[in-house]
Amino acid sequence: MPDRLRVVLMSYDPEGFADLHAPTVAAGHDPVAYVCAASTAGGTVGEILAQLPPGPDLLVPHRAAGLAQALTGYRPDLVICNGFPWKLPPEVLRVPRLGVLNVHPSLLPRHRGPMPVHWAVRHGDPETGVTVHWMDETFDTGRILAQRGGVALPDDLNGDLVFAQIRALSRELLSEALELAASGHVGTVQGVENAGHEGVMGPQDAVIDWSANRRDIHNLVRAFRFGLFPLPGPLTVVDGHWAAVLRSRSEPGEGVRKECADGPLWITEWVPVPARGAWLPAG
């Protein structure tokens, strides 16, 4: 039977911590501290504190530089991350006796980076999944302990349903990974096929370029449906006014027809927005 581990949990909001806490406790281990980066904590610190069980502290660092010293006092055997936004420096990775685990919502090595589900949709992947891996000194490249797909990304997807499935799968896989980690499993080296890192979708992605292929534009519209953007959909001009596109289709039907590089695309749902300059930097 593996030893009872002292575990530090690092995440971004109450749901993220809950998805780490439940499997950790169910496996018989002890969460000794929570860490939420100040850059993502926002108004959630009070909510996290309200849901913390008695005992663990909540650390809200502004930068990673002092994190190693802060964690050393907790004598962690293991650190587990879920949606933590920083690349952890080597001195932090060396603090826990066993290492640092990361829960990443993609089938690594595909879609490394901060928005893997959005990029899976944008690339037209039929499904996604979850990977639990050891952290190393670069983003999402460490050895894999547990991985599973099966989260479907249908054409007319429901973002809330997809993320609910990812959360459930994350808890299940973390339970498996904890058993392996506690037993000293080093994991499996990631392959190189389909490997790649993708960054944050930003203003450069927010205006539709109609010279692109229609499938690429359609998938951009689908990716925006997951939120995390100031806009509900990418921008274009519809009937002479700026609008955010919510849904599109490549088959003929009702809606506004737009010509793409390889054929027409129909905008089937959109909402008016203020002029483009109200959303995007000039230039």
Q: Per-domain residue ranges for the chain?
A: 6-182, 203-278
Rounded mean pLDDT, 207-217: 96
CB 115 within 8 A of CB 103: no
* 92 has pLDDT over 70: yes
Residues 103-137: tens digit of each pLDDT: 999 999 999 999 999 999 999 999 999 999 999 99
**203-278: what CATH class?**
alpha beta
CB 183 within 8 A of CB 112: no
pLDDT reported for residue 1: 43
Q: How much of the chain exceeds pLDDT 70, in percent? A: 95
139: left (phi over 0), alpha (psi -120 to 50) or beta: beta
pLDDT reported for residue 43: 58
* 59 has pLDDT over 70: yes
Q: Which of residues 201 and 270 earns the better pLDDT score? A: 270
Residues 169-188: tens digit of each pLDDT: 999 999 999 999 999 999 99
Question: Tokens 């939420």 correspond to what residue?
Answer: 36
pLDDT reported for residue 152: 98
pLDDT reported for residue 86: 87
Give 247's strand partners: 269
Pick the CATH number of 6-182 from 3.30.590.10, 3.20.20.70, 3.90.1640.10, 3.40.50.170: 3.40.50.170
234: left (phi over 0), alpha (psi -120 to 50) or beta: beta
Rounded mean pLDDT, 144-170: 96
pLDDT reported for residue 54: 80
Record the pTM. Answer: 0.92
**φ, ψ of residue 262 in degrees (nearest 5):** -120, 20
Residues 7-31: tens digit of each pLDDT: 999 998 889 999 999 999 999 999 9
CB 2 within 8 A of CB 179: yes
pLDDT band at 40 (very low <50, low <70, confident <90, very high): low
pLDDT band at 102 (very low <50, low <70, confident <90, very high): very high
pLDDT reported for residue 63: 85
Give 237's strand partners: 242
* 51 has pLDDT over 50: yes
